[in-house]
Amino acid sequence: MFWVDAVPEAGAVVLDGPEGRHAADVRRVRPGEVVLLGDGAGTRARAEVTEVAKGRVGTTVLERRHDPAPVLRVVLAQALAKGDRGELAVELATEAGVDAVVPWRAERCVARWEDGPRGDKALARWRTTAREAAKQARRAWSPEVTPPASTRDLAGRGADVLLLEATADHSLATVPLPDRGELVLVVGPEGGVTDDERAVLAGAGAREVRMGPGVVRTSTAAAVALGALGARTARWG
């Protein structure tokens, strides 16, 4: 899939910039080939390549469709992780269908996103990862990645919240789930969620759930949970 700013109902669409270079110089598309275009906001189209130049590809829309946003929106609150584990978590969650990602400044996070250029750069990497993963997965919707949030911020969202916790009494396989609105999935850092954080989230109505008998790493937990949510709700319908 190639991203464009807008997908028209018909007519010509030109790929230039990074997408044009990727199409022409990396993918080496040819006239007559059919490619998939998307705007990341629900609209995709099949388009025929009409011309190819260096770093630029011309196409004509053949068929266009718009997918509505899911009735049940799943938001991942992902604890900051060291190295590239945070980006891996975003990539896998995007492929698994997450609708938005909130970087969570949990107390036991080793990684620290300070306000300023370094934090902005880290956030930009997560956003780029989400966008590229959505394109690779041919998703109609690219997930939003918001600025970092505190535990209090998560508690104040006013949504259904599930905190993944290996010692929880209730299983994600059986816990009641909403059929619409917003569901926040909270994934803690490798060091776990503190008692204070659990208390703050519980005070806002969060439910602790486990996924199975084992412990899943912070970089893969969301993708595993999203698979279960897809099967248990109408999101995969």
Assess contact for 81 and 106: CB atoms under 8 A.
Answer: no
Residue ranges of domains in the chain, CATH in brackets: 2-66 (2.40.240.20), 72-236 (3.40.1280.10)
DSSP string, 60-91: EEEEEEEPPPPSEEEEEEEEP-STTHHHHHHH
**Confidence grade of residue 86 (pLDDT, cut at 50, 70, 90):** very high
> Which position has the higher pLDDT, 213 or 154?
154
For the cut 90, the answer to whether the pLDDT of residue 188 exceeds it is yes
pTM of the model: 0.92
The predicted model gives 187-209 an average pLDDT of 95
Assess contact for 198 and 106: CB atoms under 8 A.
Answer: no
pLDDT at 137: 96
DSSP string, 32-56: T-EEEEE-SBSEEEEEEEEEEETTE
| pLDDT tens for each residue of 34-52 | 999 999 999 999 999 999 9
On average, the pLDDT of the chain sits at: 95
pLDDT at 215: 85
| pLDDT tens for each residue of 21-33 | 999 999 999 999 9
pLDDT at 214: 82
Q: Cα dist. 92→39, 55, 137, 219, 227 in Å? A: 20, 30, 10, 8, 11
**Strand partners for 66:** 43
